[in-house]
Structure 1
Amino acid sequence: MNIIRTKWIYRNKMDEHGVITRNKARLVAKGYNQEEGIDYDETYAPVARLEVVRLLLAFSCLQVKQLKDDIFLNQTEYCKDLLRKFGMDKCKSISTPFSTNCHLDHDVVGNPVDETKYRGLIGSSLYLTINKLDIMFVVCMCARFQSAPKESHFNAAKRIMKYLQGTKDVGLWYLGNVSLSLTGYSDSDFVGCNIDRKSTSGTCHLLGSSLISWQCKKQACVALSTVKQSILQQGVVVLKLYG
Structure 2
Amino acid sequence: MGELKFFLGLQIKQLEDGTFINQQKYIHDMLKKFGMENSKPMATLMATNVKLTLEGEGDLFDSTKYRGMIRFLLYLMASRPDIMYSVCLCERFHENPKMSHVEVVKRIFRYLKGTMHLGLWYPKFTGVDIMCFADSDHGGSLIDRKSTSVVCAFVGLCLTSWFSKKQTSVAISTTEAEYVAIGRACAQSAMDETNLHRLRYRLFENTYLL
Same fold (TM over 0.5): yes
1:146 aligns with 2:94: yes
Q: 1:215 aligns with which of 157, 163, 167?
A: 163
Change (3 A) 1:65 1:173: same
List gaps (5 residues or longer) in structure 1: 1-57, 226-243
Report the Cα distance in structure 2 between the residues aligned to 1:165 and 1:202, rounded to whole angstroms: 24
Report the Cα distance in structure 1 between the residues aligned to 2:132 and 2:49, rounded to whole angstroms: 28
Q: 1:122 aligns with which of 67, 70, 80?
A: 70
Report 1:150-161 matches (<5 A): 150-161=98-109
TM-score by length of 2: 0.76
Give the secondary structure class of the aligned counterpart of 1:117. Answer: helix
Q: Percent identity?
A: 46
* 8 Å contact kept, 2:56–2:100: no
Report the Cα distance in structure 2 between the residues aligned to 1:82 and 1:96, rounded to whole angstroms: 19
Residue type of the alignment partner of 2:78: I
* 8 Å contact kept, 2:41–2:110: yes
The answer for the alignment partner of 2:24 in structure 1 is: 76
Report the Cα distance in structure 2 between the residues aligned to 1:224 and 1:208, rounded to whole angstroms: 35
* Cα shift at 1:177: 1.3
* 8 Å contact kept, 1:107–1:152: no
Report the Cα distance in structure 2 between the residues aligned to 1:198 and 1:108, rounded to whole angstroms: 18
Report the Cα distance in structure 1 between the residues aligned to 2:100 and 2:77, rounded to whole angstroms: 22
Residue type of the alignment partner of 2:160: I
The answer for the alignment partner of 2:116 in structure 1 is: 168
* Cα shift at 1:74: 0.3
- Pick the structure with greater CA Rg: 1
* Cα shift at 1:92: 1.1
Give the secondary structure class of the aligned counterpart of 1:79. Answer: helix
Report 1:1-243 matches (<5 A): 59-107=7-55, 110-222=58-170
Change (3 A) 1:218 1:61: same
Q: Return structure 1 stretches of 4+ with deviation > 3 angstroms.
A: none
**Which structure ranks higher in relative contact order (CA pairs < 8 Å, sequence separation ≥ 6)?**
2
Give the secondary structure class of the aligned counterpart of 1:124. Answer: helix
Report the Cα distance in structure 1 between the residues aligned to 2:81 and 2:60, rounded to whole angstroms: 29
* Cα shift at 1:207: 1.2
Give the secondary structure class of the aligned counterpart of 2:153. Answer: strand
1:101-121 CA deviation, whole Å, 9 max, x = no partner?
212101255311111211110
Give the secondary structure class of the aligned counterpart of 1:98. Answer: coil
Residue type of the alignment partner of 1:193: S
1:27-72 CA deviation, whole Å, 9 max, x = no partner?
xxxxxxxxxxxxxxxxxxxxxxxxxxxxxxx952200000113100
1:164-222 CA deviation, whole Å, 9 max, x = no partner?
00111110000011222211100001110111100011000111111111010001122
Give the secondary structure class of the aligned counterpart of 1:215. Answer: strand
Give the secondary structure class of the aligned counterpart of 1:96. Answer: coil
Report the Cα distance in structure 2 between the residues aligned to 1:175 and 1:223, rounded to whole angstroms: 39
Change (3 A) 1:181 1:151: same
Report the Cα distance in structure 2 between the residues aligned to 1:61 and 1:108, rounded to whole angstroms: 33
TM-align CA RMSD = 1.7
Give the secondary structure class of the aligned counterpart of 2:88. Answer: helix
